[in-house]
Structure 1
Amino acid sequence: MPSLGLQTDLMFSRYSGLVEDVGRYVVITTPSNPNYYFGNYLLLKAPPQAGQWSDLELDFARYVGAPPRIKHFAFQWRVSGDEDGADMSGFMQRGYEYMECAVLTAKRTALLEPQKVNADIDVRMLQSEEDWRAWYELELQERDIDQPKEDYVAYLQGVRDMYRSMIAAGRGDWFGAFQQGELVGSVGLFFDERIGRFQNVLTKSSHRSQGICHTLVHAVAKAGFDRADTLVMVADENYHAARIYESLGFQPSERQASLCRRNDGESKSGEDSGVEASKPE
């Protein structure tokens, strides 16, 4: 059975970049946005093994790139049931961030009403340049403080342009939660035939735990079923966001994992990954 998580990841890569199967890996590159970690990575066909970091980093440099243009390493793969407890300590000692994500899916009949509703927000598509400026400022404000601002700005401008281009092409929309005219949450939903994929659920830090995420995701999912039979959400297994989505009827269907770290051209440990993290609630 194909991976819905990875399949919908590649929807964005194919739109804005290049996807090439080279045998051992699928190589994903986005020439227009070198700071986009998961637009420039190796998709592994099997999980990495202990001590394999040297070969992987050499292959990454060969197929994806190296400093000064590509200043990170990033690898992703599907997790099967017998891989629980895989030892990634060797990679983590080299400064890699290891993340396991749940791929959650829902059909129209499974969608549940939110347990926590915020009646004070207006959920609508981003339309004006003012809306998109507010989106940009919110994403920049809520980024991980360990992410270098210069690199993050370049990344953010690149993905903004990609999303807006996809929207103009009829591939999806971006939605905002507005409270008294202020953008306090947002999420994208894009489509590949009859499959919809959510992107970057975010709630402003000063407005969390107010039901904004529940209300926003439910409203967008309900609208999304007009175009899709299945909606897909990918969430960090160790973050509470997955529980929010499950409360709305999304169910875990598979898992995927990733390793990433910054790369300034030197061999270091303890580096930060610089990967964007969604902050739903």
Structure 2
Amino acid sequence: MAAKFGRIAWQGGAPSHDVYEAFKQMGFEPYDSLSMQATARLAQKRSADVVTKPVSSDADWDSLLDFHLHTNPVRSKDDEAFLRARLHLYRTQAEKGKAAWFTARHHDQVIGCCGVAVGDQTARLQGLEASTTHRRNGVGRQLVNTASRWALTAANARRIVAVVDPGYHARRLFETVGFEPHGLACGVVATASYLPPAD
């Protein structure tokens, strides 16, 4: 029976070029990620016309779903079903007190979001997104700051972690609010069309 693979990861640094090439021939693409952490947050200037607020009511969750559906590439019913299921999981975690979600709003329109999951005094930021028309305007920093403040105060986390693409601009965003590189995880992820041969 054929099955799709997700991500294969390993620690210890980047492998040789030959290893990545072998995976590429089997339908995988390199996917490295950098773990960053902080134990305190830096004070940040807030944008006067952007408001961050926790996601709590049904209307808040519906607005967040609409934002995800318009921000992410939804090419099929399966894509939409995935986004709905993922958001349902986020909401379930939040209602159990194991996570929180925040949106950034401009004129009451959702323009960004960020989640934070907590456990064992560690908080992990996840799902940081901003609409294309509001990127590089401090929306991401404001969301990270709000989510970090919640994690350190309401959830009593001692450290906050985030995982980013090592070469992506999000790394610089996290560095500006006090995060430092912690470790590099290397790996590969299956391309959407790859199905391994059946036995």
Q: TM-score range by the shorter chain?
A: 0.7 to 0.9
Shift of residue 180 of structure 1?
1.2
Shift of residue 150 of structure 1?
2.2
Between stretches 237-246 and 217-226, larger displacement belongs to 217-226
Shift of residue 85 of structure 1?
4.5
Shift of residue 135 of structure 1?
1.1
**So what's the TM-score if we normalise by structure 1?**
0.63
Aligned-partner residue type, residue 242 of structure 1: R
Tell me what 2:78 maps to. Answer: 151
119 and 196 in structure 1: CA distance in 2 versus 1, 3 angstrom threshold = same
Aligned-partner residue type, residue 177 of structure 1: A
Alignment of 1:189-208 (within 5 A): 189-208=116-135
Q: 1:97 aligned to 2:29?
A: yes
Corresponding residue SS for 1:262: coil
Report the Cα distance in structure 2 between the residues aligned to 1:264 and 1:252, rounded to whole angstroms.
Answer: 32
Aligned-partner residue type, residue 94 of structure 2: I
Higher relative CO (Cα under 8 Å, sequence separation at least 6) belongs to 2
Report the Cα distance in structure 2 between the residues aligned to 1:167 and 1:199, rounded to whole angstroms.
Answer: 13
Report the Cα distance in structure 2 between the residues aligned to 1:97 and 1:117, rounded to whole angstroms.
Answer: 38
Tell me what 1:75 maps to. Answer: 7
Which of 107, 113, 117 is residue 43 of structure 2 equivalent to?
113
Tell me what 1:271 maps to. Answer: none
Tell me what 1:216 maps to. Answer: 143
Report the Cα distance in structure 2 between the residues aligned to 1:218 and 1:163, rounded to whole angstroms.
Answer: 19
Unaligned runs of 5+ in 1: 1-60, 67-71, 268-281
Report the Cα distance in structure 1 between the residues aligned to 2:171 and 2:24, rounded to whole angstroms.
Answer: 24
- Equivalenced residue count is 193
Between stretches 166-175 and 91-100, larger displacement belongs to 91-100
Alignment of 1:36-51 (within 5 A): none
Report the Cα distance in structure 2 between the residues aligned to 1:162 and 1:131, rounded to whole angstroms.
Answer: 15
Aligned-partner residue type, residue 98 of structure 1: P
Tell me what 1:248 maps to. Answer: 177
Report the Cα distance in structure 1 between the residues aligned to 2:178 and 2:194, rounded to whole angstroms.
Answer: 42
Shift of residue 266 of structure 1?
7.0
Shift of residue 117 of structure 1?
4.2
C-alpha distance after superposition, 1:122-168 (max 9, x if no partner): 11111222221221121122224xx6432211211111111111111
Report the Cα distance in structure 2 between the residues aligned to 1:265 and 1:99, rounded to whole angstroms.
Answer: 18
Note if contact 1:126-1:176 (Cα within 8 Å) is conserved in structure 2: yes
**So what's the TM-score if we normalise by structure 2?**
0.87
Corresponding residue SS for 2:7: strand
Shift of residue 189 of structure 1?
0.6
Percent identity over the alignment is 24
Corresponding residue SS for 2:81: helix
Shift of residue 190 of structure 1?
1.1
119 and 95 in structure 1: CA distance in 2 versus 1, 3 angstrom threshold = farther
Shift of residue 79 of structure 1?
2.6
Report the Cα distance in structure 1 between the residues aligned to 2:71 and 2:186, rounded to whole angstroms.
Answer: 23
Corresponding residue SS for 1:73: coil
Report the Cα distance in structure 1 between the residues aligned to 2:72 and 2:12, rounded to whole angstroms.
Answer: 31
Tell me what 2:58 maps to. Answer: 129
Pairwise CA RMSD of aligned residues? 2.1
